[in-house]
Amino acid sequence: MELIPAIDILERQVVRLHKGKYTEATVFSDDPIATSLHWESLGATRLHIIDLDGSSEGSPQNLDLIEKITSQLTIPIQLGGGIRSLESVTQAFQAGADRIIIGTKAIENPAFIEECIALFGNEKIIVAVDCQDGKVAVKGWKELTSTPASVLLKHMEQVGVLRFLVTDIERDGTLKGPNVDLIQQVNTNTKGKILAAGGMHKVADLQMLSSLNIDGAILGKALYSGTIDLTEALMIVN
């Protein structure tokens, strides 16, 4: 299971939100480039970068910064946040992203995902399944749809999606532990590869998720607050 440090960028700073709320942002660094290089130096094999300004505005807002980050890293990144058009998909790849994460558009226009897969291949596309009480949230988690997560997963699998990022919004940024039941249920009901996010607190959480044979876990607040040591976690989980 791959352990992937998260770098959430808001107003050019590295922040962590509490349950996705922009009003509850904690700044951890004013240098996203240095933060990226730090996680790489500790053994990260991939970074998970979210353009929170992009999520809020509906189109990527920090591509120049992303390009500076990717030009200095030797490891790949996956990038999300406001990627809702073919133009923004192309721009994200041009900025150096290895994979892109699409959430809102998967709900609004599934054919868009199909088009992206046809153009770039299913290894390059991650669909975000952001859950709250079993339903999918969109537009930077500001809108809750009536679509059950299970329905989105099934539909996306039918159009060829290989990899899903599953987040329990109520756990995100809380350090209360991941929603193991949700991850287990999703992993059982889909053939796709699962990346789990939301609530990671200690290495034991990662060992539990690893036992489910999922593809990866996203580490955010636990790394920044020090409840998980990346080097130690990499040794134990791998």
Indicate which residues carry an active-site annotation: 8, 130
Residue ranges of alpha helices (H) inside the chain are 32-41, 52-57, 63-72, 86-94, 104-108, 110-120, 149-158, 180-189, 203-210, 221-225, 230-237
Structure tokens of 96? 């150096």
Residue 219: exposure state from Cβ atoms within 10 A (0-12, 13-18, ≥19): buried
Token pair for 183 = 């991850």
Start-to-end Cα distance in the chain: 7
Residues in the chain: 238
